[in-house]
Amino acid sequence: MNHRTSRQSSLARWFHAARVGMVVALLLAIPSPQQRQIVDAGAAPSIDVVQALFEEPVSIEPIADGSGMWTVNNASGEPLSKIARTLPLGNDIVGYRGPTEAMIVLDSEFNIDRVALLASTDTPEHVDAVLADGDFFAQFRHWPWGGPAGDLQVDAVSGATLTSMALAESVLRRIGGDRPSLVFPDDLSPSEQSEWADQDFPESQVIRTGPISDDIAGYQGPTELLFQIDQDRIVRRIAIRESFDNEPYVDYVRTEAYFWSLFTGKTIDELAVLDPEAERIEGVSGATMTSLAVADTIVAAAKGMTLAQQESDRLAAQPSSLRMRWSLPDIATVASILLLGLFSWRRWFRIKWLRTTWLLWIIAVIGLWAGNLVSMALLAGWGAEGIAWRLAPGLAAIAVVAMLTPATTKGNPYCNHLCPHGAVQQLIRPRSKSRRRIRLSGKVQMLLRWIPGTTLVIAYAMLLVRPTIDLSSWEPFHAYLFQIASWSAIGMTFASLAIAAVIPMGYCRLGCPTGRLLDYVRRSSQSHRIKLADILALALLIAAVATRWFSIA
C-alpha cells in the first residue's frame, strides 16, 4: 500500500466516523412530538373526556390528591371514582413514534373500572385502530392496584402492536408501586423527612402505612403509622402519624413506650408473621381498641412490605430478556436475522430457488405478519423518544441491523435482504430484455436520484418546526400493516411497485429516503471525500441545535 492510498484510508475512517456521528446527533436532536401534542400532563383531564365515560352528570375536583389523582363526583357532590393519568410517569414508554397517554378510572377499592386513551404521538392509523378495539380496553377492567397477579398477558391490537402495548405498559406503571390511600392521601412532608432523619441509621428509610393498610379501624377509624427501617430491614422506630380515633386515646398509645417496644427491634419479616393474640399483646390501658388496631396495622403493613419485597426480588432475579415482550413475530424476525447471517456466510443466496424462497419469506413474515419495516417515521420517533426495545424487540433488532451494519461494513443487509418492499421489487423486476422494461437516460436518472435525498432534507426540516408531522404517509411501507392501513397508503404502495415493474428496483434506487439514509452511513471507497450530503447534514445539525437552543431560551 503506497503512501497516498494509506492517507486516503486514514481520511476515510475519520470522515466516515464523522458522518455516522452526525447522523446519530441528527436523530437525537429531533424534537419530541409530545412537547407539542400532549400538553400539561399534570392537569386534570377535561370534563368532556371524563363525562363521556359516565352515564350520569359528573364533576371533577380541580386539585389532585397526594397520589396524583382527581375525584369524580356525581351531581350531588358525592364521590364516584378516582381518575389518574399515565403521564408524566409513562413519558419514557415509547410506541411507534412516542408515548401514548391513557386515563384510568378507579373504583373505591382501587380496581380499574375502565381505561380511555387521552392522547398519542403515534400515527393516526395506529391510534384509530386502538380506539376502535373495545376488547383491548376491556382487558383492563377489574385489574387491582399493582396489576394482575401472575404472568400477565396483554392482547395487543392487531396492526397497532406498539401503540397498544405502550398504552398497556403505561397503565401498569401508573398502578404500580404503593397502593394509594383514600383515607391518608398525604405523602411525607419535607419537615417529616427531616424529623425522621437518624444519625445512627443514615441509610434507613421511613415508610407510611396509609397506602399499605388503611382499613383496620379502632374506636372510630383507622390509624396511620410511620416505620423507620434500617438497611437490614429491622424496625428501629414506629410512631403514630395520623388517626381517626379521638384524643386522649390516641395520645395514650402514642406515649406508651412499653407498647412500642414489643414491635421495634424486630425485622419486617418477623412482624409479618406476628400473631398479637398468640403473643398476648395487650392493649394500652384506657385505649384498648385504638392500641389493638395499631398492633393489627403493624402486622398488616409488615405483610404488605414483605410481599412487595418478594415480588421485587422475583423480578430482579429474572434475566432481563424475560422482561421483554417476546411475541411470535418478534421471534420470527430475530430468527430471520440469524438465518441471514448463516445464508450470507455460506453464500446460499447464489442458489436461485433458495433466493426466491427467502424473498417470499421476508414478504410474508417480516412484512405482512410482523410489519417490521424500517422507515423515516420509525427512526424519527425512536430518535426523539428512545428505542422501544422491550415492547418490540424484533423491530428494534432489525432497526439496529439496518443502521449499524452499513456504518461498520460496506454492506447493506436490510435493503438487500430484509426489506419486504425491496423483496417484492426484486421478484417483479423486469429482465434486461423484457418488453415492459423502461430504459431511462443517464440525465433523467441523475435528476431522479435527487428525490430520496431531497425528501430526507425536507422531512427533517419539517420535524424541526412541526415534530408531530406524520412521516409514515411519505413512504409506502405502512401498507404492510394491512390491518390498519389506509387506502391512500395502499395506493402509494401499489404505485411504487408499478414503477418497479417497469424500472428495475425503481423505488429503491430513485425514491426511497430511508434507503438513501442507510446508503449515506455505509462505508465505501469514496468515504474520504466530502460530499454535498455532508454539507447538508451539517447544516441540518446546526439548524437542529439552534432550534433547541432558542426553544429552551
Q: Residues 94-138: pLDDT tens digits?
A: 787 778 889 999 887 888 999 999 888 888 888 899 999 999 999
* Residue ending a domain, choose from 174, 204, 219: 174
Residue 485: per-residue pLDDT: 82
How far apart (Å, rounded) are the C-alpha atoms in residues 426 and 429?
5
How far apart (Å, rounded) are the C-alpha atoms in residues 237 and 208?
12
Q: What are the pLDDT digits (tens) for 6-65?
A: 666 777 788 888 989 999 999 999 887 765 344 445 578 888 888 888 888 888 888 877
Same domain, 233 and 132: no
Same domain, 71 and 217: no
CA-wise closest residue to 521 among 401, 371, 344: 401
In a domain, 330, yes or no: yes
Residue with cell 373526556: 49
Same domain, 151 and 199: no
3 state SS of 114? strand
Residue count of the chain, please give it: 553
pLDDT at 155 over 90: no
> Which positions ≥6 away from 337 have C-beta within 8 Å?
397, 398, 401, 418
* Residue ending a domain, choose from 140, 174, 208: 174
Residue 314: per-residue pLDDT: 63
> Which positions ≥6 away from 116 have C-beta within 8 Å?
49, 52, 53, 102, 103, 105, 137
Angle between helices 376-385 and 513-520 in degrees, nearest 10: 60
In a domain, 82, yes or no: yes
In a domain, 3, yes or no: no
Same domain, 412 and 543: yes
Structural domain count of the chain:
3
CA-wise closest residue to 226 among 212, 247, 245: 212
Same domain, 213 and 241: yes
Same domain, 196 and 169: no
Residue 174: per-residue pLDDT: 86
In a domain, 449, yes or no: yes
Q: CATH code at 278?
A: 3.90.1010
In a domain, 453, yes or no: yes
> Which positions ≥6 away from 351 have C-beta within 8 Å?
none
pLDDT grade, residue 523 (50/70/90)?
confident
Exposed/middle/buried for residue 136 (C-beta within 10 Å: 0-12, 13-18, 19+): buried
* Residue ending a domain, choose from 113, 148, 174: 174
Q: Which domain holds residue 150?
A: 41-174
Same domain, 384 and 336: yes
Cross-strand partners of 205:
229
Residue 400: per-residue pLDDT: 94
Same domain, 448 and 356: yes
Alpha-carbon separation of residue 318 from 322, 328, 397 (angstroms): 6, 21, 21
Same domain, 202 and 157: no
In a domain, 182, yes or no: no
How far apart (Å, rounded) are the C-alpha atoms in residues 213 and 300?
6
In a domain, 318, yes or no: no
Same domain, 56 and 130: yes
In a domain, 443, yes or no: yes
pTM: 0.72
Calculate mean pLDDT across residues 382-397: 86
Contact present, 516 and 452 (Cβ < 8 Å): yes
Q: How many CB atoms lie within 10 A of CB 252?
A: 18
Residue 38: per-residue pLDDT: 45
Same domain, 300 and 329: no
Same domain, 46 and 106: yes
C-alpha cell at 360: 417470499
